[in-house]
Structures are given as C-alpha cells and as structure tokens.
Structure 1
C-alpha cells in the first residue's frame, strides 16, 4: 500500500523512496508517483482552472519527472524540481497557442477547478469566495496563484515557489503581492454577484456568465462607484488566513497514474524515455483512452484503462463496460410474469428511460405526507454557475456535470409583468436526468391573496397571473432533479418575469425539504416523483441535442 501524500516538513521521509526509485525499484517508483500526484494535480488544475488539458499536462509532467529522475542529484529538492517541471509544462502549453476558449464538446469534458475546490473541500463563506474568485484571474496570474495557494497552505516554501516560477525571491514577492491585489478585486466581484444590486443587474444584462478580463474591469468599475456593492456587511478576512492549512483537492477517483519499467534502472529508463514517452502519449490520445479518468501505464507503451465509477459511460463503450458502470439503483424494473423471468436486455433499458415525462397533475392534499424518496448514488455535482447560480435573463444557462441532486428554485414576479411563461429547457444531455421531487411548501398555482404582494405564488387579481403553456407540468417553488452525466439548463424568459436559482445539493436536502411539513406561510408537504428506477419521470423540456434556440425544445421530449 502506498503512503499518503506527505507535507513539506516530512520531505526527508521520501529520501529513501527517491533513492530506491533512482536505483530501479519499481515499487518505489510507483509509490513516488502516486504519492506526489496530488500536488501536481493541484498545481496544474488551479493554474488551468480545470481546462480539458489538465489531464494531459499532469500526465506529461509525471512522465517527464520519471524519465529524468536519474538527473536529480539532491533528493531534498525533489518537490521544487517536480513543481518546476509542472510549471514548464503549463507555460509550454500556453506558448503552443492553446485556444483560450473550449469548443462545446471539450467544454462538457472540462471540470471547473474552482467548483471542485468548493465541493471536495466543502468550503463555505469567505473560503468559498476565494476559490470562486480564481475564475476571474488571467491565466498568468492563475499560474502564480496556484503556487502561492500551496505556499500559504503549507505545501511549498517561498524558495520553492520562486524556483518553480523561475524568478528570484525578491521578484516573487512583488508578483505575489500584485496577484493578491487582483484576487481581492475578484473576491469583491464574487461577493457583488451574490448580492441583489439592481444596478449590477443592468450592467450584467448582456453578460454570458463566463468570467473574463473585460467583464472583470467593468464589474470592478461598477463596484468602486456603487454604495450597495461596496458595502461589505462582514469583515473581509485576508486570503492567506483563509487558505492557511487548507487541504489539497483530492485527485478524482480513477485518476491514478502508475509507471513501471520492468527491470530497467532509472538511468536506463532515462535513456529510453523519449521513445517510451512517445508510445505512451500516442496511446493516451486514442479516443478510447481520452474519455477515461485514469490509466495504468507500463513500459513499452502497453496500458490498462481504468474507468472512474463517477463518470457516465461513454456512448461507444462496450456492453460489459456500460453494464458495470450503470448503478444498480437505476436499473429498470419491468413487471414480472409468472410464466417467465424478464430478460435484463440493454434494448429494454434504452426503451424505458426517457419514455416517462411529467404530465399535468392535480394538487395533492396539503396534509398528505410524501412517499418514500429513493436514494440514488451520489459523487457530487459541479456547476458552471458555482454553488449558487442565479439566472434572470433569456439565454442565461448553467451546465451541471457529475452524479447527484440539483435544486432549481423558482422566483415568480407577476407583480412586475404578468403573462405567458416560456419554460426553461434542458439541452445537450449526456447520460440521464430525472425529475425526482417537488418541494418548497407551495405549488405555483397556490394563489397568493389580493393583498399579499410577496410573489410566492403565481399571482393574484391585484397583480395579474403568470400563465403556463397548455399541458405543462405544474411547478413548485423548489424542483429537485437527479443528474447522472451532464446537461445544460437554459432560461427562455420572454413574458412573465421569473428567475431560477440552481444549487448542486444532496439527498438529505431533498428529503428535508419535502418532509418537514408546511413551513410558515406555505401550504403543503412536498411530492416525491422518483420511483428509484428508469421509469422515474424526466423533465418535459429536455433533449440530447443543443438547438440554436433552447426555447424550441419539444414539450414532450424523448431522450
């Protein structure tokens, strides 16, 4: 069993392992690579903010480190030497002129590292704010921030930071200070976007939701001149105090890179590294490997692919792989005939999922407790909109990736503009999406009184009503969904004012929402829609395609 990653004050404990790996000990080499992979993954992941190239850069870093291990003279400098290799690979990628923006298919494969940091380390408050602010930094600043973050967290020394960045300690101090200043500006932007400034809403009316330098400057200019956004209601803690002692983001399940060279010594491996690396990297670029989360590499270019259990099975996967990746809880349950046992054929599964969409239903009795909520497998959801995405304008969208529960909270404002509501759409579905429950204590057709202008219902005679399209499933204040794969939710608002708040969540939150009973001001228990199988309903407006106008998604989609 390999030892866990060791912090910098225990680097001396790795001397014997490094020496053994240099002498050709395969087990020591394997342990060395596995032990230091988390550090490299965090440096690269944060510098590239989860770009689809992160895997390639991490793999190339480890390959180069192994191939040149024989040239390392001082084991005590292994960490700074390894991080310097990672930074060179990051800079080489930038010099190769990688596109600043991913195409759509690559964007689905990329994972926002800021969101991974929040979810996997369970950050909250100002720690979450710092992690999300990283999105607003330029690539060069993120590169240095990835090192400074680890320095503050106790993983690197300032000497190692300067060596990895290829600058003097004095120059490093100046550059780190500048990055800290830009990070504080970005924190202010994150804080403001979480607020409710009406002026900021006007400024961001045409913003596509993706952080960039142009919008960073616009938003920073607004914040400097806005009394609402600039009014901090709690003391702002310096970033270094928030990050001190914070853990590394865990490497994703299945992302384990193990290198072995048979009986070769490290020196021999170094001599053969060019040809060997070419074989390995050629294998890694094959489509069958590129979609996986990890690979075990062996000398000579042979490899064994390890599919992460958290990833949805690729469309081209073999039947055996698809069946092992599918969680048992999602297996369809066709009726059992006394005369024969149903066959678990893949064709039946494909026919069942997506044939059950929500239909118009009657409001259940307010005092009727919901049915039991099945528990589906969870590994966490990442969202391009962060832990709390707020969408108020036509075309606003958020992409959800992973396996777990998601809350979509409706905010209807008929007192500002009543009329016909255009439903949001789920597009680009890869994997499966279920509509599992409804909650929040109120259906949208639970009318507010004529004297109540709180906008918690669909309207009143005093303010007007919001009208759903004919045949549309009635919505509740909180709608709960389960994602196993990736999908994009887009607002198609045209008539009545409404907003959607999207929160990656978990089963416990769903259960709490639908079973705690009617809260003050609300009227009813929640409703469980999930059956635990593939016959659970899917949202009405969902498609695997990505139409130019999301509002054109058919109402009763088949996915």
Structure 2
C-alpha cells in the first residue's frame, strides 16, 4: 500500500470507520512488535509494551494532525513505552536475564539467517539497553521500513544528532560482532579469560573480551572479509509475530469489551489472536562475504548481491564502481548501447561521441506535481500526461543509507514510453573526485561510506535520464533499503540535446549518449507496465508494453 492509500486509511479510521481501523492496526502491528522486541531483546515484557503501544495509538488517533507522520508517530509512542517501562522497573541485570527467548535468537531462527547476518543478530545482546533502543530503529531504517527522518522523530532527536548516535551504535555493534567471532574460535587465551563467565552477555564482560581481542593477534584477525552491518541488513524482512502472540498477551489480560471501548473491533481482536504471516527473506552468504536475498513469489523483486570484496569471487551481477580514475575504460560491444533492456549493459568509452537525437513531436507534458516533482520518500509518485520529453534526475545518497536499491517503476501506461537518452555528465558508477577527502567518491558510493547496489540485471543509470511520453504514465519512487530521491520535470528536446552532447560546463567525465532509434524500436524503460499494481515495487523488469 502506497503513501496516498495509507493516508486515506488513516483519515477514514480517524473519522470512525471501523474497517479502516482494523486495517490500520493489523497492518502496523508487526512493525511495532519488531521495534519493541529488538529494543527489549525479547524480554517477557515485550507483549505488554506492544499492546500498550497499540492501545495508546488507537486511543489517541484523533490527535494525529498529519497522516503522513503516522509511522514516526506510532514508533515514537512505542519508544516512549519502552522508556517508561525502564523507568518503572529499575530492573537489575538478573531480572533482565529472565527472558523467554531473546530476540536475537528469534531473528536468526525465523528469518533463517546464516553467516555474517547471523553474527550481527547474535551481537545485539552485547549492547546496552539504550544502544539497543536506537539499534531497533536503525535496523528497520536499513531494512527499508523507516526513513532517517522517521528514526530521528521517533527517537526525539534531530537528524544531525541521530547521525552521530547511529554511528556510535554501529561502532559498538561492530565491536560486539568481533566478540561473537572470537567466542566462535579456539583461542586458548580467550578460554582462560572466560573461565569464570556464566555465558550471559553484559557490559562488564563485553569490556573484558574486547580488551583481550584488541591485544590478541588470533582473535583480532577475522577469518574472512567483514561485510558492514548495514549491507547485511538491507531489505531484511520483519520478524513475524510469534504464534503464541494471543489476545491475552496482546491486550495484557484486558477483556474484549474493554478493548472494544477504545475502538478495537472483533476483526482486529481476531487478527491479534491468529499467527501473522510476514514476508520472510531467506539469506545466504556467498563467496567473498556477498549475500543474496530470496523472497516469495509476488513480493518485491529480490535485492541485489552486495558489492563483492573478495579477489577470488567470481560472481559480479552488476557493474562495480571503478577502483581508480586511471582504470581502463570497459570495452564496447558490437551491440548498440541501450538496446538491451533486461540485461546489464556496458559503459561507452568516456570519449565516445553521442549519436544524433531524433526529433519527436512535442505538444507539452502536464505533471501532477507542477513544473518540478522532487520525490524523496517511498510511496511518492508523479503522473505525466501529454506528448514530450521528461527528465528523471537521480540523487543517490549512500552516505545517508547504502544498500540494495529498489528501482522506481512506471505504471498505468496508456500510449507509448521510450527511453531516449542519458546525460548529466557521468554514469553513476563513474569515479568523481580526486580522493583527497574520503578515499574516493562515486555516484554509487565508496568503501568508506558503503555502496548503493542495483538489482540483478538492471542497467546502470546516468545522473540524468531522459524519456519520451506520448500518453499517460505514473512514475513511483520505491525507496526501500538504499536512500535515493528523484527530480522529475518536463523538458524540451533542445535541453536534452544540449545535455547529451555538451554536458556540464565543468568536470564532465562523458557527455552522454542517445538511446532513441527514432522509431518504435527505441528502448522502453525497465520496470514498466500498463497495469496498476497495488504495490508498484512488484513490477518485473520484463514487462508487456
């Protein structure tokens, strides 16, 4: 369900529509369960905190003024309940250890995690309670369930402060991963250190073990390339609600009548008493620490493998960023660049002269966003109508959130849609900058900030992509995982021609290229359909247009 549909559901629920309330509560319950479960590490109080969060949300739904902020508002309620619970209990370490089954174990078992993904989950219990609270939000941000803005709002801090705190949590998580790896080894010195340890993670033993690892050549040397946690968590599914999550647990012993008095209908109560089937992504580590994610049929397309960091790995599904500006240019194939829609294409030589741009009739395009659409969040879309050219400009932000990129999609096409040219001065995998500030910088990221990775078989984008519309079509932003935005604006042929053949005035690596053949054999975009799917992210690359 996209943003506009959720807004209508929220508005209807605020107006007293019981069916909309059913849909709202059942739809967002798994997210709340994951936030609370990970923050409390699966403590027996998780069920009580979840039910209290949902009851408060239902009871205060009328006070929500902006439906667009519902998700951050709901998660903020959950975080307040978590903090209130901590203040009320003033729990001792012994009390906190009395868990039914820790959430790290649930994550491993229910999502079938292996290798380094399993390592990340098992490292979580080594973090302090405050760090786990923020980690519960960051984990969902990287998985594509929250945006950075929503994370900051839920935590009650600014985005700048959030960036600092998230970085600290990531550093502590990586240190905890080192402890998990070391405990899985056979270091005699570590066995001596842990002789008196009861096996329960806590801050005292974390410091002791970390001190040993720093001074131990055996424990401090990972046996394989360590993949950053954010690249391991991209696109990871929510942990499904447990089968035992029944009405008595969800409502904390409250009667059905009491629950109904605050707006819970029989359907909602029924949903809470049944096992919830959530999308569970299976993950497997492959050579060099890269990973692949598999998903059930009908769900969004699988995320691509993370950038391969091993020299011995053989699988490379997408073009990887060039290592240095002096690397040789890829060899061009005999096939015309851009004529292959469903396969990875080769980059033209930087000095290649773009072809002539054919002329097509232009009567002008109208846009539901006006002169310029600036789309930054999942669920946003723009509808174009008429005949003419349109610019789609990419803003990829691996420094904000790297990972697998969920491509935008074109839906509801009536008429024709062509991919006519690419420009902006560079392909997104071109190296830009001299490396003096952060090693080196590319449009798709770098080793210091992480990479934005394309799905398998996707053509590499240029900074500016140009299309020709003759009819009506809607472009959707499907941001899940990697952070990116799109600027969409109607332009004329002269602007396209200028960009492709002359590029930016300064620093152009290559001017551009022309994909348009001048007839109906011009390439169509990937991810385009004449249908209007409920979830635009499910549009397949090979579409009937």
Name the TM-score class by shorter chain.
0.3 to 0.5
TM-score by length of 1: 0.45
TM-score by length of 2: 0.47
